[in-house]
């Protein structure tokens, strides 16, 4: 359909097909511009109608900064629907979901069980952040992340390479996002009063790989950001940190850290209420390594505004479009990549590591939560029990279920 044809849908009441009678033409035309207008099941008779509304949608603030609307890609009559949490930078630029490194890995995973987006699969979409007081280990000593973001500080922070070497990396971006009622956790090391406060889905580097804060278990060992076996000489610095939560002066020991292996230690994780004053959380982008040190361990950098977890208002504004996509596709299997996609549609509160690989019944459909490909990129080990190994078990189960539903196997 041409652009003019798409625009005509906004003012042409004819051709509504099976549109619900309670959705009058006037209300239908307001859908892309007013989040208060509901989108009941059966609103869109065709993909063209749905696509036109999506491309002109202004139901939430994300419309103000986007480059392209990411509606979906693949076979609109596919038997398998994959739901992601939202577009990233590459997706925003191209208008297609899962086209960056995560998308390339997803294609390889599908191909491994003889599935592809031309015939079998359609892909569609539905902030990991820290509070202002969280301390980040910089070349100037510990500094609160809120100040770094507000000052757009572009110095270096201590980071960790994939082979666990401590290095200095430049800060390349500064962001802040609404807390939007997300769950908060306080993370500290034994004997420390100061750690960091993060949202439940914020990734922490552990011996088991990158895990959301909410999925940390007693006994988990977390990367400390201190040299292995060298904590004794850091005790004065840590003691000073407890007495001065704003900043710590530079020290020769701090500047000598680069190139040394990190140490590991257990942490204490406590759920927190969400005070009204904590209405903003903060994010840093870090060059290459995409992580940085805090007093209680290594945390992954937050995704910027165009690549963060959707907040509640954005999910509420956009989910009805996704539900209509699901109705039009009518897939045999729905896969949720990551906890955000799962929770947005089903309300499931359990962490992805606790529920992945299990068949769920949602609205009479066969559904499964699987790891997000980005999580696998951060955890490349293929050893038995690793996220990559578990993903291989899950995708084989999906293939077997699909064959059974198609009647290809008993």
Both 255 and 176 in one domain: the answer is yes
How would residue 285 be classed by pLDDT, with cut points 50, 70 and 90? Answer: confident
Average pLDDT over residues 81-87: 80
Q: Which residue has the higher pLDDT, 351 or 108?
A: 108
The total number of structural domains in the chain stands at 3
Both 329 and 346 in one domain: the answer is yes
Both 297 and 319 in one domain: the answer is no
User: Which CATH number is 318's domain given?
Assistant: 3.40.470.10
Both 156 and 206 in one domain: the answer is yes
How would residue 203 be classed by pLDDT, with cut points 50, 70 and 90? Answer: confident
Q: Which residue has the higher pLDDT, 313 or 351?
A: 351
Domain that holds residue 43: 1-59
Average pLDDT over residues 371-376: 86
Both 284 and 346 in one domain: the answer is no
pLDDT number for residue 311: 65
Last-in-domain residue among 283, 307, 331:
307
pLDDT(131) > 50: yes
d(CA 387, CA 399): 18
pLDDT number for residue 73: 86
pLDDT number for residue 293: 82
Contact predicate 130/299, CB 8 Å: yes
Residue in the structure block whose two tokens are 């490349």? 380
CA distances from residue 396 to 114, 148, 321, 393, 403 in whole angstroms, order as listed: 10, 45, 30, 5, 11
**Is the alpha carbon torsion for 70, 74, 75, 79 positive or negative?**
negative
Both 283 and 377 in one domain: the answer is no
pLDDT(128) > 80: no
pLDDT(405) > 90: yes
Asked if the structure places residue 287 within a domain, the reply is yes
Average pLDDT score over the chain: 77
Average pLDDT over residues 79-88: 81
What the block records as the tokens of 303 is 């995704």
pLDDT number for residue 89: 57
Both 23 and 168 in one domain: the answer is no
Both 35 and 111 in one domain: the answer is no
How would residue 81 be classed by pLDDT, with cut points 50, 70 and 90? Answer: very high
Maximum C-alpha span of the chain: 76
CA distances from residue 216 to 66, 118, 232 in whole angstroms, order as listed: 34, 39, 26
Asked if the structure places residue 346 within a domain, the reply is yes
Both 315 and 190 in one domain: the answer is no
Average pLDDT over residues 71-94: 78
pLDDT number for residue 410: 46
d(CA 387, CA 235): 35
User: Which CATH number is 189's domain given?
Assistant: 2.170.16.10
pLDDT(20) > 90: no
């Amino acid at each position: 359909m041409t652009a003019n044809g798409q625009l005509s849908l906004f003012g042409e009441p004819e051709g509504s097909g099976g549109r619900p009678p309670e959705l009058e033409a006037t209300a239908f035309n307001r859908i892309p511009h007013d989040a208060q207008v509901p989108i009941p099941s059966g609103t869109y008779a065709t993909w063209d109608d749905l696509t036109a509304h999506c491309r002109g949608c202004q139901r939430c603030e994300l419309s103000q900064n986007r480059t392209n609307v990411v509606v979906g890609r693949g076979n609109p009559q596919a038997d398998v629907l994959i739901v992601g949490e939202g577009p990233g930078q590459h997706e925003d630029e191209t208008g297609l979901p899962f086209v960056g490194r995560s998308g390339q890995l997803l294609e390889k995973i599908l191909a491994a069980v003889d599935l592809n987006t031309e015939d079998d699969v359609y892909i569609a979409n539905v902030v990991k952040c820290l509070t202002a007081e969280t301390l980040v280990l910089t070349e100037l000593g510990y500094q609160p992340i809120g100040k770094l973001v507000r000052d757009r500080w572009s110095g270096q922070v201590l980071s960790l390479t994939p082979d666990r070497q401590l290095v200095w990396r430049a800060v390349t971006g500064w962001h802040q996002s609404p807390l939007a009622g997300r769950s908060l956790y306080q993370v500290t090391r034994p004997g420390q009063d100061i750690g960091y406060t993060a949202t439940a889905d914020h990734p922490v580097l552990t011996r088991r790989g990158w895990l959301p804060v909410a999925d940390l278990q007693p006994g988990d060992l977390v990367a400390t950001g201190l040299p292995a076996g060298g904590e004794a000489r850091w005790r004065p610095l840590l003691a000073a940190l407890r007495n001065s939560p704003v900043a710590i002066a530079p020290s020769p020991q701090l500047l000598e850290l680069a190139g040394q292996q990190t140490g590991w230690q257990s942490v204490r994780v406590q759920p927190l209420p969400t005070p009204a004053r904590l209405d903003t959380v903060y994010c840093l982008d870090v060059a290459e390594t995409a992580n940085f040190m805090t007093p209680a361990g290594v945390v992954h950098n937050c995704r910027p505004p165009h690549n963060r977890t959707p907040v509640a208002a954005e999910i509420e504004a956009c989910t009805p479009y996704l539900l209509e996509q699901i109705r039009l596709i009518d897939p045999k299997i729905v896969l949720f990549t990551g906890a955000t996609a799962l929770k947005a549609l089903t309300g499931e509160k359990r962490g992805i590591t606790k529920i992945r690989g299990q068949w769920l019944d949602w609205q009479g459909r066969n559904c499964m939560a699987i790891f997000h490909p980005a999580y696998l990129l951060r955890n490349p080990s293929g050893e038995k029990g690793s996220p990559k190994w578990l993903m291989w078990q899950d995708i084989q189960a999906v293939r077997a279920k699909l064959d059974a539903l198609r009647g290809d196997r008993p």
